[in-house]
Structure 1
Amino acid sequence: MQYHPYTTKLLEQLNTHFQSSNITFNITTQGVNGERTRSMLKRLHETFKTTTTKYDCLIVLGGLNDLQSLSTKEIASNICEMAHIGRQHVRECCIVISVPNCYPDLSYAKYRDSKCDVNRRLKEYVEKIKDESVPRVYFLDLNENNLNIDSMDEDEKTLIYDDSIHYTPEGYSRLGTAVFNVIKSHLSKG
């Protein structure tokens, strides 16, 4: 219920970590609540077609709103296509983030299984192209980054989840930290 994009924490950590190197970071946040991957893909095409900005990194997070209406194959395909487009337009890296866990995962097996299938497909895509990809593509599994609802006690769930789907500012800060760690690792590889 509170607007707190994960990019707020990401920018804070990038600026802090790289403050001595005189690198300046600018983040364009274009997430739209409730948007589906088809619309995201279309918007991304338009963004790169109309902008003169050369981005260093593209971060793709989507799919949650599609689980009731699209096949897991189509959801994953849309997200992978966004990464493919990013590889053509960014200098450094693309980060594909797993579809986040949320409360419906705890009680609806079909929903949870569909999400797992999308995430499996995303991970396989990144694994398949990792050696050929320039810019580099990374898969960020939120389950491995302290955002797995299945492993949280009730107090932590209350701290991380604002409603049954979205994160609290603390949850989004954790997401921002997870993205920061991927970028920091990428930049340290030089």
Structure 2
Amino acid sequence: MQSSLRFLAIGDSLTAGFCNYGLSNHPYAINLLKLFSLSNISIIIDQKGVSGECVVSSMVKRLENLVFNEHSPHYNWIILLGGTNDLAYRKSAQIIFSQRLKVMYDMVLQRTNQDTKLAVMTVIENGYYSPDSKYDQQRQILNEMIRNYAKNHHDQNRICLVDLDKNIKYHNIEDVNQRNIIWDDFAHLTADGYDRMAKIIFQEIYKNINQ
């Protein structure tokens, strides 16, 4: 019998599944586990989302402790999402990417075994700023940096882009009822929204597993 693949899901509140104004959590890991099970692939997911966390300072050290501690398990996949809170604090895309996200991406790809793969995710929009707002420009720049890293990395077999930004919209949903199905507030998703997020992640990783 084939052993289970082990996943690490690291990120902020969107990984933790923050919803209902913090009264409950529905991480995407719940549906991701279900989708792989339905595809007859056994996985274990360590869900390590911390609401409110920024990549500029704490997430790099947390990733190091989770993956490179002497007691850390071996991960087949590390799914990394960060930057939303940094953008909210007006950190520039350049700082978020070059000083933190890229550091974490490189850390995973350079310091783990060849059978450890990395899924990097773009940052979704929010209800506070429309895509044509000057306040949303840094998010869009950051997402291009993430896409370019994934596209241009020399080891394409070990990196996978999950482009949440292109698949989860806020402002382009004209039907308010449809928006309310997946959006809980201006920045977080409902349980249905996190389940949709899981489906997007699943589709990209499943393609990679079955290449």
Instruction: Report which of the two has the higher share of helix.
Output: 1
1:96-175 matched pairs, under 5 angstroms: 96-106=120-130, 109-129=133-153, 132-133=154-155, 136-145=158-167, 147-153=168-174, 154-175=176-197
Which runs of structure 1 show a deviation greater than 4 angstroms over 4 or more consecutive aligned residues? none
1:64 aligns with 2:78: no
**Secondary structure of 1:59's aligned partner:** strand
TM (normalized to structure 2)? Answer: 0.80
- Alpha-carbon distance in structure 2 between the residues aligned to 1:70 and 1:6: 26
Distance in 2 separating the partners of 1:89 and 1:175? 26
SS in 1 for 2:47: coil
- TM-score, structure 1 as length reference: 0.88
State the secondary structure of the residue aligned to 2:48: coil
Query: Gapped runs of 5+ residues in structure 2?
Result: 1-19
Q: Encode CA deviations 1:136-189: one digit per residue, 9 max, x unaligned.
A: 1122111332x1113212122111111111000011001100110111100110
SS at match of 2:85: helix
Distance 1:138 1:105 in 2: 28
Among 60, 65, 68, the residue aligned to 1:49:
68
The amino acid of 1:30's aligned partner reads: K
Please state how far the C-alpha of 1:46 moved relative to its aligned partner: 1.6
The alignment yields a C-alpha RMSD, in angstroms, of 1.8
The more displaced of 162-171 and 106-115 is: 106-115
Looking at structure 2, the residues matched to 54 and 107 of structure 1 have their Cα atoms a distance apart, in angstroms, of 39
Give the drift of 1:57: 0.4
Q: Secondary structure at the match of 1:95?
A: strand
Higher strand share: 2
Tell me how far 1:107 sits from its aligned partner: 7.7
Query: 1:122-143: per-residue Cα shift (whole Å, max 9, x none)?
Result: 11111120xx226511221113
Distance 1:107 1:178, change over 3 A: closer
Deviations 1:46-81, CA, capped at 9 Å, x for gaps: 222213311000111110100124221111221222
**Structure 1 residue 89 corresponds to structure 2 residue 106:** no
Unaligned runs of 5+ in 1: none
Q: What amino acid is the match of 1:83?
A: Y
